[in-house]
């Protein structure tokens, strides 16, 4: 038999018939995508309609823009460090830092235990779902509202601010910690259990060391958030600190120069926190490698 007499599986009249088409199939419009598109379309129409029908007669748009630029120049290019001295600013920032630090430490300690119990690989399903549902409710309520809720019993001030901020920090960190714990390899936990290790030994020897970098990252992130929240709570809840000074300068005697000075203090300490957090995380990565 000659080699050329071997029949090919592909017919000469219809070559490559058995190959699949490389055309991209476009999915049909589904009900959820249709609802999303209709919602976005309605929101766009309402936005356009509001801009068209709003009354601009009593508003001097150009005058408002010019006044805003003037106020920004006064705030950031002509700050009065004589009215708000360096020691006053440092003391006010330290009070705000203290509020942020206390709420972060309290929330992190409580969240560490609740995060361990809410991790699916370290706890039962009923306990895990119960804790996750509880902290989801906590996270759904804004921090300011928690502070006002606790202010009913404790009164406006630093006590209500610390309790409310701690409560919300705990709900935030429990979710972050539990997700970090759940990323641990199940084989490590099973090996420790097979070797006779109890629950606390597994946590101390495997879970915490492998998740330490994530825990520090999430904790410092929450500390930066709490610093910003503590500034707001100084004004809203009378907790003191540099937020209260900014509230007095902006609402009570309206000193734009002092507002600019306070803003520079806040920016400086926010940048300093970011530098410290970056160095600590880099040192942890270097020590683990």
What is the C-alpha to C-alpha distance for residues 136 and 174, in angstroms, rounded to an integer? 10
Residue 6: per-residue pLDDT: 45
Given this structure, which CATH class describes domain 82-288? mainly alpha
* Rounded CA separation 160/144 (Å): 10
Spatial separation of the C-alpha atoms in residues 164 and 189, rounded to whole Å: 36
| The pLDDT of residue 58 | 72
At residue 3, the pLDDT reads: 46
Cα pseudo-dihedral 122, 127, 130, 131, rounded to 10: -50
Tokens of 117: 């119990």
* Cβ proximity of 185 and 206 under 8 Å: no
pLDDT at site 106: 93
Instruction: Please indicate, yes or no, whether the overall pTM of this predicted structure exceeds 0.85.
Output: no
DSSP state of 27: P
Decide: helix, strand or coil at residue 107.
Answer: helix
Residues in the chain, pLDDT under 50: 1-8, 10-14, 16, 18-19
How many C-beta atoms surround the C-beta of residue 268 within 10 A?
12
- Residue 170's nearest CA partner among 121, 98, 112, 232 is 112
Q: Residue 21 has what pLDDT?
A: 54
Q: What is the pLDDT of residue 104?
A: 93
Cα torsion 125, 131, 133, 134 to 10°: value is 160
- Per the listing, tokens 């946590």 go with 203
Q: Cα separation of 256 and 77, whole Å?
A: 11
Tens of pLDDT, residues 3-62? 444 444 544 444 545 445 556 665 667 777 888 889 999 999 999 988 788 776 677 777
Distance CA 153, CA 48 (A): 46
């Amino acid at each position: 038999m000659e080699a050329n007499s071997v029949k090919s599986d592909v017919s000469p009249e219809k070559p490559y018939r058995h190959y699949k088409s490389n055309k991209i199939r476009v999915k049909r419009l589904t009900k959820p995508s249709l609802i999303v598109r209709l919602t976005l379309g309605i929101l766009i129409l309402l936005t356009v309609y509001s801009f068209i029908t709003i009354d601009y007669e009593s508003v001097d748009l150009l005058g408002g823009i010019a006044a805003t630029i003037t106020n920004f120049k006064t705030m950031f290019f002509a700050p009065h460090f004589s009215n708000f001295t360096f020691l006053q600013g440092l003391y006010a920032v330290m009070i705000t830092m203290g509020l942020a630090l206390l709420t972060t430490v309290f929330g992190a300690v409580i969240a560490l235990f609740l995060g361990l119990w809410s991790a699916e690989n370290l706890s039962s399903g009923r306990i895990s779902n119960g804790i996750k549902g509880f902290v989801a409710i906590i996270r759904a309520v804004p921090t300011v509202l928690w502070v006002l809720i606790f202010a009913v019993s404790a009164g406006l001030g630093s006590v209500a601010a610390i309790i409310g901020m701690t409560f919300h920090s705990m709900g935030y960190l429990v979710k972050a910690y539990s997700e970090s714990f759940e990323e641990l390899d199940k084989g490590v936990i099973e090996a420790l259990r097979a070797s006779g290790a109890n629950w606390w030994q597994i946590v101390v020897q495997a879970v915490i060391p492998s998740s330490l970098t994530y825990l520090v990252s999430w904790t410092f992130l929450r500390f930066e958030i709490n610093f910003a929240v503590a500034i707001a709570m100084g004004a809203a809840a009378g907790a003191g600190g540099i937020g209260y000074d900014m509230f007095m300068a902006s609402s009570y005697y309206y000193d734009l120069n002092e507002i600019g000075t306070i803003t520079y203090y806040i920016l400086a300490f926010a940048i300093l926190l970011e530098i410290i957090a970056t160095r600590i995380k880099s040192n942890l990565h270097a020590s683990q490698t």
